[in-house]
Chain A
Amino acid sequence: MEFITQHPVLVVSLVKIAVLLFVVMTALAYLTWFERKVVAHIQSRWGPYYVGAHGLLQPLADGLKFFFKEDLTPPASDRLIFTLAPMLALALALTAIALIPFGPPSIQVLGQPVFIVSNLGVGLLFLFAITSMGVYGIALAGWSSNSKYPLLGSLRSSAQMISYEVSLTLSVVGVVLMAGTFSFNGIIQAQSGAIWHWNVFGVRHGGITQVVGFLCYLIAAIAETNRIPFDLPEGETELVAGFHTEYSSFKFAMFFMAEYANMITVSCLATILFFGGWLSPFPGTWTWQNYLPGALLLLTGIYTAFDTFVVLRGIARLQFAVVTLLLLGGGVICLHPAVAPVIQGPFWFVSKVFVFIFLYVWIRGTLPRFRYDQLMSFGWKLLLPVSLANLVVTALVIVFPWLGAHG
């Protein structure tokens, strides 16, 4: 106990990191389940169904499978870098998430904010620094495999990530100008008020809508994370599986997890920069919104209870009964007057991030892949000029406030 009171920063930070790691790892696992389910329903299929009720234990089975598969290392590969590349990819992807604030800094334990692991003054820049390192994981994986398809895939990927990183960075500078700071908390607090103060609408004094910046960011972010329709580095029809062709077992799983972690990071960033982070869309005087998370959990619990008692049979019924109990119990806890205001920040943050994750999956289920020359000319000839123009217009509005909105 004495150690805890003497070193509150160290102890609280370590606990926060451990909890965040656990939550993110679970989220990554269930993101694969979510993606498979949504894409399946887009294509009129059921998706994973047999391992657990509604396939809920599928991520666990997949994880076990990855873990026990044979770990192949091609004899002609560069062993050290071949092993290092997936670790680098995953470590950088997870580090980036530690910079994200999930709730307001005012909620504290032992004088330390609960929902913020690291509050850097240059948080946004640091995040870009980490994501700009992310290209090494892919580039080195392709090179060290000493095989033709992975090398081509990683060359494509490096070129693509360098090209779109420029637009990605430029598209958010408008937001930084409007907030006057690189810190995530500063950027979020500059958007406080109500939904129309968020940067994407920008109706506040001297502000201008950042919807152009947001669209540029969204496109560049999808390209940065190598997702459909920009997943040329792993285009199956041309490159087998691109940079991770030679990878198997847990090393492959690490690339997989890194891709999903990057997806979460860019969704979090979109939420913070353009959609007010952990801010509620409603004015602070509407106190009923404190009971929204609990009510939503209870409603979902009632739905799963219906599924448990009416639709499902056998072991699936038992599994879904556990899910129902968890949802209902969580709902009751969230309705408690002491808990309800505390979880407001994380609730809104996670809800907004979830919308972006769904958008990602939706796009994957809808759009075909770009051709490589289309990708490059789109990035350099359209996205870059548009994000530059957005930056110039935003700067003009900040210098001459009468040009902008008067909210």
Chain B
Amino acid sequence: MSLPLLLFFVFAFIAVVGAILLISAREPIHSALALIVVMVSLALVYVLLGAEFIAAVQIIVYAGAVMVLFVFVIMLLNAGQEERTDWSRMAKYAGIPLAVIFLFWIAHWMARAAVGAVAGYAPGESYVTPSTTADLSKLLFTSYLLPFEVTSILILIAILGALVLARKEDKA
């Protein structure tokens, strides 16, 4: 097994374990931490795929900014332990079989896609071309300019909305 493949399995395993912990942890802050683990290991998988820029942005934006706010809010509100109910009958009899079917379905499609992708390459050859930040930004500001600008307007609207909600009511 080559080193990148081995590393992929390590990080993928950590990501899955983190995701399971995220759901099963009872303390909100433990869940938040597990989510950070998932995001960081996903970023490392991106590095293995040659997408360094996406990996760095993933950590900066999600793990470094979004999750900091999550943790901040949990700390500020001093959220207590989650209350648990017993498993509902619906989850037991319909949920688990559906989840298993869904997993097999994904695995099936991934196996087919991987066979198609590997076909054209010699063994050991990397089948991803590393994308530089310059290439990415060129695409972003030419082919995908409209979606990019629309997204920025969307974020602006969100900021204005947050401002309006957070503003104190005028006393007059």
Contact = CB atoms under 8 A, between A and B. Distances in A.
Given A121-B52, A121-B133, A78 B27 contact: yes
Nearest to A180: B134
Interface string B100-142: 0000000000000000000000000000001011100000000
B: contact size bracket: 20 to 34
A211 B120 CA distance: 52
B71 A133 contact: no
B114 to A, nearest CB: 26
A122 B56 contact: yes
Contact of B56 (A78, A125, A143, A155): A125
Contacts of B56: 122, 125-126, 128-129
A384 to B, nearest CB: 14
Nearest to A84: B33
Nearest to A132: B64
Contacts of A136: 36, 68, 71
Given A133-B63, A136-B36, A125 B132 contact: no
A135 B68 contact: yes
A355 interface: no
A143 B133 CA distance: 37
Contacts of B63: 129, 132-133
B13 interface: no
Contacts, number: 81
B72 A155 contact: yes
A122 B59 contact: no
A154 interface: yes
B72 to A, nearest CB: 5
A163 to B, nearest CB: 11
A139 interface: yes
A20 interface: no
B68 A139 contact: yes
Interface in A58-109: 78, 80-81
A140 interface: yes
A182 B36 contact: no
Contact of B72 (A120, A125, A133, A139): A139
Nearest to B72: A158
Contacts of A151: 75
A37 to B, nearest CB: 35
A162 interface: yes
B8 interface: no
A132 B52 contact: no
B59 A133 contact: yes
A129 B60 contact: yes
Nearest to B75: A143
B60 A182 contact: no
Contacts of B29: 78, 81, 140, 143
B68 A125 contact: no
Contact of A140 (B53, B71, B130): B71
B40 to A, nearest CB: 8
B52 A162 contact: no
B75 A132 contact: no
26 contacts: A81-B30, A120-B52, A121-B132, A121-B133, A122-B52, A122-B133, A125-B57, A126-B59, A128-B60, A128-B64, A129-B59, A132-B59, A132-B64, A133-B63, A135-B64, A135-B68, A136-B68, A136-B71, A139-B71, A140-B71, A142-B75, A158-B71, A162-B68, A162-B72, A165-B64, A181-B133
> Sorted from nearest, which 7 A-B pairs have the closest CB atoms?
A132-B64, A125-B56, A129-B59, A122-B52, A129-B60, A143-B75, A129-B56
Given A78-B27, A128-B56, A165-B64, 17 more contacts: A81-B29, A81-B33, A120-B52, A121-B132, A125-B133, A126-B56, A128-B64, A129-B63, A132-B64, A135-B64, A136-B68, A136-B71, A140-B29, A143-B75, A155-B72, A159-B72, A180-B134
Interface of A: 78, 80-81, 120-122, 125-126, 128-130, 132-133, 135-136, 139-140, 142-143, 151, 154-155, 158-159, 162, 165, 180-182
Interface of B: 27, 29-30, 33, 36, 40, 43, 52-53, 55-57, 59-60, 63-65, 68-69, 71-72, 75-76, 130, 132-134
